[in-house]
């Protein structure tokens, strides 16, 4: 019998790689996203709408025991605190943090009833360190790390594990969009900026979405059954500097 995984934001980047890998490993994957995808069982969902997230997950839970939740939906935003408008802060938090809150709260009844579950939150290396021009994004990713730790403690008695995955610079569409935005504002050459980003990493390259997906698969599995409340860094050594 297939295990069931619910993921938010599984239609591109790291999320898409996770969906593909979990399907390959015999999971039934429900992908909650705004953008349609042929991978997994797609459910159109706006993660900022708590009632919508709740209704979709409740519907899945009526038919299936939810074994794994991967809260992956998120956006990037670059700005200092002075250049962050209230609406910018609200948008980042509504997607990155409130979306995680909605999904976790919705899956817990199913996991508690089954006395088993794995919850993975897609945080960032910015849950551990600060970066320039990243006030709202950094704040949101630190919040996800906190959610992983408090959830781990609150639900350990139900054998529900919660961990945060903290990727460094991963070559995704989100990465390329951020670089494109920077180049458009600064006039810099994208190839040079990309090379500079690679040089900043101790391993001298960017991470790939498939590498993050492999870590997520391990953390969701019984092989990681004694790992909970942790921040799992996958950043090519960046935060070790």
Cα separation, 95 vs 140, whole angstroms: 9
Residue 137 catalytic? yes
Cα separation, 147 vs 32, whole angstroms: 20
Identify the H or E element spanning 224: none
Q: Which long-range contacts (CB under 8 A, 24 or more apart) does 58-61 make?
A: 58/106, 60/4, 60/6, 60/30, 61/106, 61/107, 61/109, 61/110
All residues at 6 or more sequence positions from 94 whose CB lies less than 8 Å from its CB, including other chains: 48
**Kindly report the CA angle at 164 between 150 and 123, in degrees rounded to 5?**
115
Closest CA to 29 of 60, 55, 51: 60
All residues at 6 or more sequence positions from 48 whose CB lies less than 8 Å from its CB, including other chains: 94, 95, 98, 99
Lookup result for tokens 């704040």? 139
Closest CA to 58 of 66, 47, 67, 70: 66
Cα separation, 4 vs 56, whole angstroms: 14
Residue of 27, 137, 155, 238 with catalytic role: 137
Task: List the catalytic residues.
Answer: 137
């Amino acid at each position: 019998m297939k295990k069931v995984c619910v993921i938010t934001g599984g239609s591109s980047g790291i999320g898409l790689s996770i969906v593909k890998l979990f399907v390959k490993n015999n999971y039934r994957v429900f992908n909650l996203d705004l953008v349609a995808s042929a991978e997994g069982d797609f459910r159109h969902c706006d993660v900022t709408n708590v009632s919508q997230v709740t209704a979709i997950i409740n519907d899945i839970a009526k038919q299936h025991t939810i074994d794994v939740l991967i809260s992956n939906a998120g956006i990037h935003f670059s700005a200092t605190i002075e250049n962050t408008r209230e609406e910018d802060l609200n948008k980042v938090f509504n997607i990155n943090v409130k979306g995680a809150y909605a999904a976790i709260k919705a899956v817990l009844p199913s996991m508690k009833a089954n006395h088993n579950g794995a919850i993975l939150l897609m945080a960032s290396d910015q849950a551990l360190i600060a970066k320039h021009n990243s006030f709202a994004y950094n704040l949101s990713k630190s919040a996800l790390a906190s959610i992983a730790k408090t959830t781990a403690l609150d639900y350990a008695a139900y054998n529900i594990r919660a961990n945060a995955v903290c990727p460094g610079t991963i070559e995704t569409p989100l990465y390329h969009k951020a670089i494109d935005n920077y180049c458009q504002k600064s006039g810099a050459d994208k190839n040079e900026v990309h090379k500079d980003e690679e040089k900043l990493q101790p391993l001298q390259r960017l991470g790939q979405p498939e590498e993050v997906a492999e870590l997520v698969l391990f953390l969701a599995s019984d092989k990681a059954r004694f790992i909970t409340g942790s921040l799992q860094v996958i950043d090519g050594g960046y935060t070790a500097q």
